[in-house]
Amino acid sequence: MRVKILLFFFFSFIVNSVFAQQKAVVFGTVKDEEGKLFPLVTISVKGTSIATKTDEQGYYELRVPADTNISIMYAYIGYQSENLNIKLKGNERFRADKKFIQKSINVSEVIVQSDEERTSTITKIDAKLLSSLPSASGNFEAILKTLPGVNSNNEMSSQYNVRGGNFDENLVYVNDVEIYRPFLVRSGQQEGLSFINADLVSSVKFSAGGFEARYGDKLSSVLDIRYKKPKDFGGSFSAGLLGTSFSFEGTNKNRRLSYLVGFRQKTTRYLLGTLDVDGDYQPSFYDFQTFISYDINTDWEISFLGNINTNNYTVIPQSRETTFGTFNEVLRLTVFFQGQEIDKYQSGMGAITATYHPNNNLNLKFISSRFQTDERETFDIEGQYIFDEIESNFGKSTFGQVKANRGVGGFLNHARNFLFASVQSYEHKGSLQKEENLWNWGVKYQHEVIDDRLSEWKLIDSADYAAPDLDNTIVLQDVVKAKIDLSSNRVHGFIQHTRPISAKHDLKLSMGIRATYWDYTDELNVSPRATLSYKPDWKKDWVFRASWGHYNQPPFYRELRNFDGTLAKDPKAQRSIHYVFAADHQFKFFGGRKFRFISELYYKEMKNIIPYEIDNVRIRYYANEKADAYAMGADFKVNGEFVKDLESWFSLSFLKTEENLLNDFYTIKNDAGVDSAKVFPGYIPRPTDQRFNFSIFFQDKLAKDPSVKVHLNIVFGARLPFGPPDFERYKDTLRMPPYWRADIGFSKEWVGKKMGGAAKIGPFKNIMLYAEVFNLFKRSNTISYLWIRDVRDQQYAIPNFLTSRQLNLRLVGRF
């Protein structure tokens, strides 16, 4: 059946390509007087309804009638209009770049800002800022962690939580293709390179909640990435202590064919040397991506997006020494290891997109994509530990020495886990602009295959003697033995309508509905969503926005699997209703520089929630349990040019999220050891209940030499809940220390003659040298805990610390 569908699609594609009406294309970029790319400029054909606007990169493409004289107008309020008289042949592509000159009238209050960004929950991020952000991981997602509502307590990981959700609740798209995260990864140091290659990114859109129906079925957030469609030849390279990258782009002579290629290599060996565990770390991560686009004619375009990613992580641990406790009680754990861990994560993705746009108002896409991953996790690690109390009295001669031994013991961790997964999808998406009305729709079929082989266990002996049970066998802990083969199909569909309700009052409404069906559970979910925006006729520029919607997330694979490796008996979609209220104020300050202040209040009501626990970045679900939950909070952000020509921002977030496991209780025993009462815990904090979060991304430059800049990234996150490893969810109400760190970078730029500079750097447009200090204040942040017992059978949580202070150097060049 699928073959017939593909043949029908291919035949229709060929027929339409051959018999398409003859048109021509005018394309180019628009810049202002300072040479900066100019978004939202209106380009239209005089005397017709043919029109378009420049995108975030100042680029436009306008389909115009061929073999006839036409007059093209370029217009933006406050700037002098431009005209172009031209006659083109059928299928001809003509480049017309324009420079806009500001009128002499006072336009000090004109701020160029996308309507989409202010009237929806979408936040746009300048992709050019990615290279300036000092980040230990080097992954694209590091910039998201500086936004309000986004939390992360692990600088080595690309994963992030949004408004009380977890990693599995975030949607990620690249060129309309959904991206998946690894399944077996346990810690940030295993992750390596995330999918998104920052060198290839053109635009970034992010929503922390209340997003539109055109986006998928996850509970928390959506990240929408667009890769570049090159207009000229160029590229970049980066080389540093943590890895290298190289990319190049270009077009053929008539600019019908464009290509984008990126290669990345990363090693964190230098960074992992700052962890508590000393050993031989051998991480190696590689990634290759390409995006190729070809304009068959003025109506049809075909493109290919491909990725091959290999992340290898090997470690031979040797020893560990961790000191912790209070001022009056200082404790030290010393561990000696034997064994090794070898992990390998290989994934690949390919997507072919055929786009049909017979005119500037109608856009039809047909997407076929496949993702697959082959993951292997193998380790046998034995540890022998000594647990001591250290003398903390400054007045004693034995200060800093062992005061008393609290216990000795050992452990053995074993795993042989192998997982193969593939996702094949076929999708159609369309959009139609009819005057002030915008229609979006889409339908998608998806086939998933999971082949999982699990074999892991632990042996923990806190008394240095593993006693057998009554059957004379050694008792293992956390035993998981499973063989899972899962194949299922999903169907998604949506329709969305955006229109102004009242032009007089600048009132705009976006309404849509999604439907999802999964044959594994035979469950159909329907999700209506709406956003209303209002811009009052005030002297000051304010926009107010309210969003509401249902978000239903059917389980993928991770949510189906219990702690013991078995699958859930009656899985149902997790459900959330979002209520978001926002105020958006744009203003000028510091001599007319542009600023923006955004505040959002939100409440999320959740049902059928699957409880889970987090250990580092590993999420394990209580797949057969259900919970009611909520999340509420407030996010604030102010961004702008605190220093001329350099954007910075401050983010502040408040959050409270709790859940109540259904039918969850524990019993209290009386003095005779008999159960005497049931206790229902009620609402308890969710694992991501981080009550307060604050972040800064700030840039500055030397007044006498603007080519020397400083880039500061500060993140503070309040204490997260955790609990003992006994799989009793109601006990997870302890709090780990706050997470905070500061990363700082210094850069020097040399601008070549190609860009109007004076530096003699050959073919390069510019070269930048970065010197970065990670964890500037050498903060010991806790990511998880190792639990042991002493000779008195008292249990202790030994903190696992993240990376310490480290220096990094990077050289970046663009040509």
- Residue range 701-730: mean pLDDT, rounded: 92
Q: Inform me whether the pLDDT recorded for 16 exceeds 60.
A: no
Per-residue pLDDT at 466: 54
- Residue range 201-219: mean pLDDT, rounded: 94
Q: DSSP of 277-317, one letter per residue?
A: EEEEEEEEEEEEEEEEEEESSSSEEEEEEEEEEEEEEEEEE
Mean residue pLDDT of the chain comes to 89
> Which amino acid is located at 312 in the chain?
N
pLDDT digits (tens, 9 = 90+) for 315-324: 999 999 999 8
Per-residue pLDDT at 562: 92
Per-residue pLDDT at 18: 41
Q: pLDDT class for 289, splitting at 50, 70, 90?
A: very high
Q: Inform me whether the pLDDT recorded for 305 exceeds 90.
A: yes
User: What's the rounded Cα separation, in Å, for the pair 783 and 802?
Assistant: 6
Least confident of 3-12, 29-38, 420-429: 3-12
Q: Inform me whether the pLDDT recorded for 350 exceeds 80.
A: yes
Q: pLDDT class for 224, splitting at 50, 70, 90?
A: very high
Per-residue pLDDT at 649: 96
Per-residue pLDDT at 77: 72
Q: Inform me whether the pLDDT recorded for 117 exceeds 80.
A: no
- Residue range 684-707: mean pLDDT, rounded: 95
pLDDT digits (tens, 9 = 90+) for 417-466: 999 999 999 999 999 988 888 999 999 999 999 999 999 999 887 655 55
Q: pLDDT class for 472, splitting at 50, 70, 90?
A: low
Cβ–Cβ under 8 Å, residues 211 and 580 = no
Q: How many CA atoms lie within 13 A of 800 on its CB side?
A: 16
Q: SS3 helix, strand, coil % of the chain, rounded to 5?
A: 5, 60, 35
In 10 A of CB 796, how many CB atoms?
18
Per-residue pLDDT at 363: 92
Residues in the chain: 815
Least confident of 1-10, 120-129, 146-155, 466-475: 1-10
Angle, alpha carbons 143-686-419 (nearest 5°): 70
Cβ–Cβ under 8 Å, residues 785 and 737 = no
Per-residue pLDDT at 469: 58
Phi then psi for 744, rounded to 5 degrees? -130, 145
Per-residue pLDDT at 89: 85
- What does the block give as tokens for 591? 């001599």
pLDDT digits (tens, 9 = 90+) for 251-287: 998 888 999 999 999 998 888 988 989 999 999 999 9
Q: Could you tell me which residue, 393 or 651, shows the higher pLDDT?
A: 651
Ranked by mean pLDDT, the top range of 146-150, 667-671, 761-765 is 146-150
Q: Inform me whether the pLDDT recorded for 107 exceeds 60.
A: no
Phi then psi for 452, rounded to 5 degrees? -125, 130
Among 356, 386, 342, 315, smallest CA distance to 21 is for 356
Q: Inform me whether the pLDDT recorded for 20 exceeds 60.
A: no
Q: Inform me whether the pLDDT recorded for 769 exceeds 60.
A: yes
Least confident of 46-50, 84-88, 163-167, 511-515: 46-50
Q: Inform me whether the pLDDT recorded for 394 exceeds 90.
A: no
Q: DSSP of 326-387, one letter per residue?
A: -SS-EEEEEEEEEEEEEEEEEEEEEEEEEEE-SSSSEEEEEEEEEEEEEEEEEEEEEEEEEE
- Residue range 760-770: mean pLDDT, rounded: 86
For residue 720, give the DSSP letter: P
Per-residue pLDDT at 6: 47
Percentage of residues of the chain with pLDDT beyond 70: 93
Per-residue pLDDT at 116: 62
Q: pLDDT class for 10, splitting at 50, 70, 90?
A: very low
b/e for 46-66, b at 16 or more Cβ within 10 A?
Answer: eeeebbbbbbbbbbbbbbbbb
Q: Inform me whether the pLDDT recorded for 160 exceeds 90.
A: yes
Per-residue pLDDT at 636: 97
Among 329, 554, 564, smallest CA distance to 457 is for 564
With helix as H, strand as E and coil as C, how does 612-649 read? Answer: EEEECCEEEECCCCCEEEEEEEEEEEEEEEEECCEEEE
Q: Inform me whether the pLDDT recorded for 111 exceeds 50.
A: no
- 23-31/93-95 β-pairing: parallel
User: What's the rounded Cα separation, in Å, for the pair 464 and 384?
Assistant: 9
Beta-ladder partners of 444:
427, 492
Per-residue pLDDT at 728: 86
Contacts of 505 (CB under 8 A, 6+ apart): 534, 536, 537
Q: DSSP of 762-802, one letter per residue?
A: TT-SEEEEEEEEESTT----EEEEEEEE-TT--EEEEEEE-
| SS3 (DSSP) at 808 | strand
Q: DSSP of 110-153, one letter per residue?
A: -----HHHHHSS-EEE-GGGGGGS--SS--GGGGGGGSTTEE-S
Q: pLDDT class for 109, splitting at 50, 70, 90?
A: very low
Per-residue pLDDT at 115: 59
Per-residue pLDDT at 494: 97
- Residue range 165-184: mean pLDDT, rounded: 94
- Residue range 504-529: mean pLDDT, rounded: 93
| SS3 (DSSP) at 708 | strand
Q: Inform me whether the pLDDT recorded for 56 exceeds 80.
A: no
Per-residue pLDDT at 231: 84
pLDDT digits (tens, 9 = 90+) for 476-494: 888 999 999 999 999 999 9
- Residue range 711-729: mean pLDDT, rounded: 92
Per-residue pLDDT at 348: 96
Q: Inform me whether the pLDDT recorded for 754 exceeds 80.
A: no
In 10 A of CB 455, how many CB atoms?
16
| SS3 (DSSP) at 190 | helix
Per-residue pLDDT at 764: 85
Per-residue pLDDT at 114: 53
Place of tokens 């043949």: 7
Q: Inform me whether the pLDDT recorded for 83 exceeds 70.
A: yes
Beta-ladder partners of 453:
418, 483
pLDDT digits (tens, 9 = 90+) for 126-141: 888 888 999 998 899 9
Per-residue pLDDT at 727: 81
> Which amino acid is located at 485 in the chain?
D
Q: pLDDT class for 542, splitting at 50, 70, 90?
A: very high
